[in-house]
Amino acid sequence: MTRVGGLEEVLEGTPATKCFFRPNNHVDLLDKTLALAGESPERVVEQSLETRGTVVKRLE
C-alpha cells in the first residue's frame, strides 16, 4: 500500500503497515510483495484478522 492520506493513520500499529511501499518505487513494491508471499497462509490470515479488528474498533 502506498502512503495514501488517512490510511497510514488508520492502520498505524497493525501488521498491515509492513505492506506500505514508497510511491513510484517498483523495487520497494516487489520487496513487500515477496515478503508477504513468503509468509504462511495461516500467518497472513492471522495478521489480516488482527488488522481488521483494530480498524473496526478505531472506526466505531
**CA–CA separation, 1 and 21 (whole Å):** 6
pLDDT per residue as tens, the chain (60 positions): 555 568 888 899 999 999 999 989 999 999 999 999 999 999 999 999 999 999 999 998
- Give the SS3 label for residue 37: helix
Spans of all domains in the chain: 7-59
Looking at residue 57, what DSSP letter applies? H
Neighbours of 37 (CB within 10 A): 8
pLDDT score, position 54:
96
8 Cβ neighbours under 8 A, 6+ residues apart: 17, 20
Contacts of 60 (CB under 8 A, 6+ apart): none
- pLDDT at residue 6, rounded to an integer: 81
Cut 0.95: pTM above it? no
